[in-house]
Amino acid sequence: MFTSSATGYSINGQKHTLVQRNIKQLHEQVKEGNFLALARGITIVENELSGYHDLLLGLHRNRHARVIGITGPPGAGKSTLVNALIRYWLTENKKIAVLAVDPSSPFNYGALLGDRIRMSEFYTHPNIFIRSLATRGALGGLNAKMIEITDLVKEAPFDLVLVETVGVGQSEIEIAGLADCTVVTLVPEAGDEVQTLKAGIMEIANIFVVNKADRDGAEALFRNLRIMAHEKAAGADETPVIKTIATGDEGVGELATAIVTFLDAQENLPEKRLHLLADKCWQLIQAQRMKDIDHNRLRTELAEAVKQDNFNLYAFVNHFLGN
């Protein structure tokens, strides 16, 4: 069994009842707003350490904390924009969690934390929790355990949970299934890339942000997005397009208001969220059904089977499963 001094909940020889007791205590600490306990819980969930399933089974649906996704291409100023939003909402005494998904190190699959330096002023703030997560090779701009981690974070008494994605272009649409509100951030340098939005990111944006709006081309990008939003609306509410200069906190108040307005208007579970949850359920069911499959035995039997002249992969699978 995995042993980790970082969590204290994964010790060789520990009985399951003791693990359950420790996990229940950890869960209670998370609900009380203990940031250290929350950090430990995230580590347990992300790495599937001892007590992982017990922790997830104890979670409750929290309708109070709302999830805001901040996405867009690399260099769009997402981290700076998150920083500005935090600063704005702190004036309203909001309690905020930030889950920042970074690219993975090719050596240890940990997060490359360069962008988090911009949030250093909030590291010790009692109302702000910041956690960097690595993609670990997951597609879609998110960590593979992001749904579970977000659900755990929502157990704590936060008002808002900000999820900043890696920034990998149109494959990043997974955020639309996770967030209550998805903010797509672009910069004037996007240029012709805007023409590709109709097929991808255009479909997931609840709010568009033209960041670095003091640069050349910002007004043209703003107008093009407004036209595209108008065409897509077809008589319904148009997707808001907001200009910001995050480094100077310009337009941030307008963006924060637009986010809250959108959240307040949501009543039912969005179809995109339901689609993502269905996919997640499928993955969890697959994992449960596969837990008794011994990969080493599979490889050994397969090595022998492929030597036969009449080898058929599909027949082998049926035989291995006892069908």
pLDDT tens for 13-24 read 545 677 788 999
For tokens 């250290």, what's the residue? Answer: 36
**Where does the pLDDT of residue 1 fall: very low under 50, low under 70, confident under 90, or very high at 90 and above?**
very low
pLDDT value at position 204? 80
Residue ranges of the domains in the chain? 16-57, 66-273, 274-320
Amino acid at 202: M
pLDDT tens for 230-261 read 887 776 788 999 999 999 999 999 999 999 99
> CA-based Rg of the chain, rounded to a whole angstrom?
22
Give the residue from 69, 62, 55, 58 showing the smallest Cα distance to 100.
Answer: 69
Q: Using DSSP, state whether 228 is helix, strand or coil.
A: helix
C-alpha 14/C-alpha 225 separation (Å) is 57
Residue 35 contacts residue 131 (beta carbons within 8 Å): no
- Listing from the earlier edge strand, what are the strands of the sheet with 241-243? 128-134, 96-102, 160-164, 66-71, 181-186, 207-210, 241-243
State how beta strands 241-243 and 207-210 pair.
parallel
pLDDT value at position 135? 62
Mean pLDDT for the stretch of residues 150-178: 80
Query: Does residue 265 register a pLDDT over 90?
Result: no
pLDDT tens for 124-140 read 899 999 998 876 544 44
pLDDT value at position 103? 56
64: left (phi over 0), alpha (psi -120 to 50) or beta: alpha
C-alpha 129/C-alpha 234 separation (Å) is 40
Residue 209: how many other CB atoms lie within 10 Å: 30
- Decide yes or no: CATH 3.40.50.300 for domain 66-273: yes
When mean pLDDT is compared across 58-62, 144-148, 157-161, the lowest value belongs to: 58-62
